[in-house]
Structure 1
Amino acid sequence: MGARFIQVAVVYLLIGVLLGMGMGMAEKFIYTSAHAHINLLGWATLGLIGVVYTVYPEAGSTKLASVQFWLHNIGLPLLVISMFLFAQGNTGLGIPFSAVGGLLVIVSVLLLVVNVFRHIKPGR
């Protein structure tokens, strides 16, 4: 799972960098929230989780890690889409996308916490 998390993280990095460059070139920064979430919850968070699961393969090889991976990678795109919608003034679609996406990401992070405390013990 560690490698999977890292592979997806670099895809988010590429998307975040391209979005940032596009916003800078156009001098339109209405998507900064989406840009920040792509880079932080996508690149940084998933990359770090990938490193944790590589260093502690007993945590990375669990069902929790797999479920966490899918919840995060379904939730984050929904959350980012909501930010694009909000930036365009479309709260009607933005709110449900934000609610579902945000909830999935939060559950994913909770699964990470459970997995770490269950499978990573001090002194190993």
Structure 2
Amino acid sequence: MPKISQLFFKSATIFFIIGVMMGLHMGFSGDHSPVPAHAHLNLLGWVSSAIFATYYALNPKKAEGKLVMWQFAVYTTGIVVMIPSLYFMALGNAALEPLVGIGSLIVFAGVLLFAVVVFSSKN
């Protein structure tokens, strides 16, 4: 399996564990206000990262080079910036909204890099 697939699967697994822990915390505490962060972490962190990993595993020629490593770094950094800020913003810290926006734009940049890989002529 390509290195990039391993990286995305490992980060997806970490994000999945954190997402489940968030869900458990919400259930135990009865406070569901951070549900947007929980949902975004599960979708962007767990599901999308696992899909990226699968794509690269199924297309090993596209899993080579610096662009895929940049895509991993940018996308994962975006999640690490966006999710905690969204979590604490949902708990009432409205001052973190700009950081959520910045993290979202970084995630979007990672998605655009993935699109470049997918649509490149490299088999």
Normalised to the residue count of structure 2, the TM-score between the two structures is 0.91
Q: For 1:50-104, what per-residue CA distance to the aligned partner results, in whole angstroms no more than 9, with x for missing partners?
A: 0100111111112111001011111112111221232232222x12211210111
Q: Which residue of 2 aligns with 1:78?
A: 81
TM-aligned CA deviation for residue 119 of structure 1: 4.7
**Alignment partner of 1:51 out of 50, 54, 71:** 54
CA distance in 1, matches of 2:92, 2:98: 14
1:16–1:39 contact (8 Å) kept in structure 2: yes
User: 3-state DSSP class of the match of 2:61?
Assistant: helix
**Alignment partner of 1:65 out of 68, 72, 80:** 68
1:1-124 to structure 2, matched below 5 A, reads 1-92=4-95, 94-119=96-121
Counterpart code for 1:107: A
CA distance in 1, matches of 2:59, 2:121: 8
1:59–1:119 contact (8 Å) kept in structure 2: no
TM-aligned CA deviation for residue 22 of structure 1: 1.1
Normalised to the residue count of structure 1, the TM-score between the two structures is 0.90
Higher deviation after alignment, 44-53 or 55-64: 55-64
1:56–1:120 contact (8 Å) kept in structure 2: no
Higher deviation after alignment, 40-49 or 58-67: 58-67
TM-aligned CA deviation for residue 120 of structure 1: 6.0
Distance 1:51 1:120, change over 3 A: farther
Length, aligned pairs only: 120
Q: For 1:29-69, what per-residue CA distance to the aligned partner results, in whole angstroms no more than 9, with x for missing partners?
A: 01100100110000000001001001111111121110010
